[in-house]
Amino acid sequence: MGGLTGILKQNSAVTVYLLKSFPGDFKDQAKSLASAIEEVHEPEELFPGVYTTGELGNGIREQSLAVVTPQGLIIITGCAHPGIVNIIQRAKIMTNTDSVYLVIGGFHLSGTSVSRIESIIDSFIDLAVQKVAPCHCSGDKTRQLFKEHYGSNYIESGAGARISLP
């Protein structure tokens, strides 16, 4: 959310999909800059093959994006406060997709124990996640452990990174 205003100042000819639970002043600011605002609560298909998970989480609410590709599902997260494994499970169910090609974004695991991170890595493997690109709030230890487990299927990511996909 932090970069939305800057993006809209560069290109306001977009529709912004915001959670219904977002604060009114944030929605008002986005409405003043974007050509259209859509409020999201439930999972839905935004465009053919492009889905929002809808609102997830009890405390800090978030949505993630899921894109169906021939290689498998690509899941783009924010900070994953609702739990990265929960997000992957929701995305697979709502898109009826078995294979996950890539999970990219924050995994919200900074400061988490090694055993917990390894348990989450095991869940990724069980959920058929082929490639990972953890960034920002994932934490250095998380990135290191995912890199060790995923090897060449680990993608360095972060602000300004460009990732080519097939």
Residues in the chain: 166
Give the pLDDT score at 161.
84
What pLDDT is recorded for position 121? 97
Model pTM score:
0.93
Is residue 63 within 8 Å of 54, Cβ to Cβ? yes
pLDDT of residue 4: 86
pLDDT in tens, the chain (166 residues): 778 888 898 999 999 999 999 989 989 988 999 989 999 999 999 999 999 999 999 888 999 999 999 999 999 999 999 999 999 999 999 999 999 999 999 999 999 999 999 999 999 999 999 999 999 889 899 999 999 999 999 999 988 888 888 7
Ranges of each domain in the chain? 1-41, 43-166
pLDDT at 136: 85
- For 43-166, CATH number out of 1.20.1250.20, 3.60.15.10, 3.40.50.720, 3.40.47.10 equals 3.60.15.10
Q: Is 72 helix (H, G, I), strand (E, B) or coil?
A: strand
Nearest to 104 by CA among 159, 42, 32, 29: 159
Half-sphere exposure of 115 (CA within 13 A, CB side): 0
What residues contact residue 72 under an 8 Å CB cut-off, 6+ apart?
A: 97, 99, 100, 101, 102, 128, 130
